[in-house]
Structure 1
Amino acid sequence: MEAIIDEVVDPADLKKFEKIYAEQSGRGPASTKAQFEYAWCLVRCRSPQDLRKGTVLLEDLFHRVGDDHAKRDYLFYLAVGHTRLKEYEKALKYTEAILKVEPKNHQAAQLREHIKKKMKIDGLVGMAIVGGAAAVAVGGLVGLGLALSKK
């Protein structure tokens, strides 16, 4: 699962699919295929703005396209995009939606477990940062108190 989450799009692929999408969009609505390929490239970018744009395009596809198989793919890649954005609650929502319809979908189950692990790790790191900042603040106040008491 790490390979899927950590994969970064080849800049040449991004350019290629962006061009196709832009050309089609200039003449009217882009094809589902062009929009999906461009969105999938964006979801594999490092830039949070590109990641967001990719998730917006995937959400649009999810709401417009009636094919259940395609919808499952859109949900999966939405979960990947939101995981990369560290929006774990949204990512979990998408994996749960897949598993509700396909309880034996191993890829969605693996992604769900990966997301839960990331939430736990990021939560612990966040608590450590807050705890460290609190310790520094308390240490500073104690130091200030000692300095003032010596005057």
Structure 2
Amino acid sequence: MNYKKIHIGKLIDLKVMESGLKTSHICRFFKCDMNEINKMYEAETLDAEILLSWCKLLKYDFFRVYTQHLILYSPKAKARLSSEDDEVKKPARTELHKNLYTVEIIAFIMEKISSGEMTKLQIINRYGIPKTTLYKWISKYESTEA
């Protein structure tokens, strides 16, 4: 799964094939003909309401694909400049930020390491995954792959 470039229509088409849903059932659910369904399969992006309907029909959270993209590729938040002066504002209290690493993200990272596509240091720097977290994944998931 390439989380960098998302083509949601292809992902939906793949899930439909995996689920074995009949096209007649899909057409009744969306109240449209097969041409419109095929246009959705070809669409790189879909309206959120339509995507939510696909999530319900296929019992799969397609929004998670976008969430995983954000976790892997969004830049870290920077401190904001104050409008009153040019000093950097610090948060009033320390905020706990917890990233949610799903099984798919862990598999994605482990594939990058096992294929030799990226080193551990490159993964830590590019995706901002803490060193201890990465090494825990390696010890846990490399032993289960063997």
The interval holding the TM-score normalised by the smaller chain is 0.3 to 0.5
TM-score normalised by L of structure 2? 0.32
| Structure with more helix by fraction | 1
TM-score normalised by L of structure 1? 0.31
**Based on CA coordinates, which of the two structures has the bigger radius of gyration?**
1
Higher relative contact order (CA 8 A, sep 6+): 2
